Structure 1
Amino acid sequence: MKRHKDILERLAKEKHLEVLELCEILDVSAVTIRKDLKFLEQKGLLYRTHGGASLENPYINERTVLDKEKISVEEKNGIAQLAASKIVENDTIMIASGTTVQALSKFIKPKNKLTVITSSLNVVLNLINDKNIEILQLGGYIRHSSASVIGNYAEYILKNVSCSKLFLGVDGIDLDYGLSTTNLEEAELNKKMLSAAQKVIILADSSKFGKKSFARICNLSQVNEIITDKGISSSVRKKLEEKDIKVTIVN
């Protein structure tokens, strides 16, 4: 059927499509589109998501930081480099765990003092030789898969600190479910980080949109800005901006 072909061709370009968007493009009802998506999912050609469809499984399984480092490397480095430009003189920032925020630490070259609060061991290793950077390493149990700390000790420290910006990496960004990650304890730590930051900046390549994982971090109302690559669909970008979230795209 031509309509099925059109859906799959558009999905290959956009990565994620909304039902209402397809209704407008193809000039058919939502009932018809949902039937089309159900049929195509049964054929193994796409995954249905809440209110739309994706070419990739929207549910994320945990992978190690070494595995994640090999995925979307160019996009992550572009996002990280742009994020580094957001850091100002004598700033105090927080960097969470994850490969994209870990990449950020490679591009941080302050001319004056910078204070960095982080849960990531790899971020510390990237910054430790720069004498202009004062590092507060959060303590606690080590998650081997992410090379980062979790637990009550780290959460306790965050009750007593504040920062201008939190650079947060996530496993999934869903318009309804919000931000999510694969580990419940990491999600709890991320929530405490949100409370300690004046501004929340999400670093996420476009593959993260339309996906959700086991542990929910927060809804999108707590996000100020998302830095991503040009693979983000125009419809998702528009909906994020309607929620007063600044979407910055790396060229």
Structure 2
Amino acid sequence: MKRHQDILERLQEEKYVEVSYLCKSLNVSAVTIRKDLKILEEKGLLFRTHGGASLDNPYINDRPVNEKEKISVSQKNEIAEAAAQLILENDSIMIASGTTVQALARCIRPKGKLTVITSSLNVTLELIKFKEVEVLQLGGYVRHSSSSVVGNYAAYILDNISCSKLFLSVDGIDLEYGLSTTHLEEAQLNKRMLSAAQKIILLVDSSKFGKKSFAKICDLEQIDEIITDKGISLSLIEKLEEKGITVTVMNKG
């Protein structure tokens, strides 16, 4: 069927499409589109998600950080370079765990004194070489897969500090479900980080959109800015901006 072919072609271009977008572009009802998506999923051609469809399985499994580092490398580096420009002289920031924020740590060139609070051991190792950077390494149990800490010790420290910005990276972003990660304790720690920062900046490559995992971090409305790559669709940018989020798209990668 031509409509099925059109849906698959749009998916190839966008990687993730919403039912509302398909209804408008193909001029058919939501009921029709959902039936089409069900048929195509049964054929193994796509994965249905809440309100849309994806070429990739939207449910994410935990993978070691050394594997994640090899995915979307150029996109992550560009996103990291843009994020580094947001760090001000004598700033106080928080950096969560993940390969994109680890790339941010590699891009930081301190202007004056910089205070960094982080749960990531890899971020600490990147920044410890700068005498201008004061690193507060959160303590707790170390996750082998992410080289980051979780637990009550880290949460206690976060309850007693405040910073200007949190640079956060996640495993999945879904318009309805929000931000999520594969590890429940990490999601809980990320929630505490949100409360300790004045501005929340999400650093994610476009492959994370339309995906989710079982451990929810927060709703999208809690995010102030997203920095991503040009793989994100225009319709998704519009929906994010409708939620009050500033979206910065890197043109290369």
- Bucket of the pairwise TM-score, normalised by the shorter protein: over 0.9
For residue 185 of structure 1, what is the aligned residue in structure 2? Answer: 185
Q: Report the alpha carbon displacement of residue 158 of structure 1 after superposing the two structures with TM.
A: 0.5
Secondary structure of 1:71's counterpart equals coil
Q: Which moved more, 1:27-36 or 1:192-201?
A: 27-36
Secondary structure of 1:186's counterpart equals helix
Instruction: Give a deviation string over 1:127-181, Cα, whole Å, max 9, x none.
Output: 1010110100000000000000000000000011100000001000000000000
Secondary structure of 2:87's counterpart equals coil
- Asked whether the 8 Å contact 2:172–2:212 carries over to 1, the reply is yes
Secondary structure of 2:89's counterpart equals coil
For residue 78 of structure 2, what is the aligned residue in structure 1? Answer: 78
In 2, distance between residues paired with 1:32 and 1:250?
35
Q: Give 5+ residue unaligned stretches, structure 2.
A: none
Secondary structure of 1:248's counterpart equals strand
Instruction: Give a deviation string over 1:79-111, Cα, whole Å, max 9, x none.
Output: 001000000000000000000000000000113
- Asked whether the 8 Å contact 2:88–2:111 carries over to 1, the reply is no
Which residue identity lines up with residue 211 of structure 1 in the other structure? K
Q: Report the alpha carbon displacement of residue 116 of structure 1 after superposing the two structures with TM.
A: 0.3
For residue 170 of structure 2, what is the aligned residue in structure 1? Answer: 170
Secondary structure of 1:111's counterpart equals coil
Alignment of 1:123-202 (within 5 A): 123-202=123-202
- Asked whether the 8 Å contact 2:80–2:103 carries over to 1, the reply is yes
Q: Report the alpha carbon displacement of residue 210 of structure 1 after superposing the two structures with TM.
A: 0.6
- Asked whether the 8 Å contact 2:227–2:250 carries over to 1, the reply is yes
For residue 108 of structure 2, what is the aligned residue in structure 1? Answer: 108
Secondary structure of 1:59's counterpart equals coil
User: Cα RMSD over matched residues?
Assistant: 0.5
Q: Report the alpha carbon displacement of residue 214 of structure 1 after superposing the two structures with TM.
A: 1.2
* Equivalences, count: 251
Alignment of 1:1-251 (within 5 A): 1-251=1-251
In 1, distance between residues paired with 2:202 and 2:111?
24
Secondary structure of 2:94's counterpart equals strand
Which residue identity lines up with residue 120 of structure 1 in the other structure? S
In 2, distance between residues paired with 1:111 and 1:24?
48
Q: Give 5+ residue unaligned stretches, structure 1.
A: none
Percent identical: 74
Secondary structure of 1:63's counterpart equals coil
In 1, distance between residues paired with 2:30 and 2:140?
49
Instruction: Give a deviation string over 1:58-97, Cα, whole Å, max 9, x none.
Output: 1000001001000000000000010000000000000000
Which residue identity lines up with residue 210 of structure 1 in the other structure? G
TM-score between the two structures when normalised by the length of structure 1: 0.99
Which residue identity lines up with residue 226 of structure 1 in the other structure? I
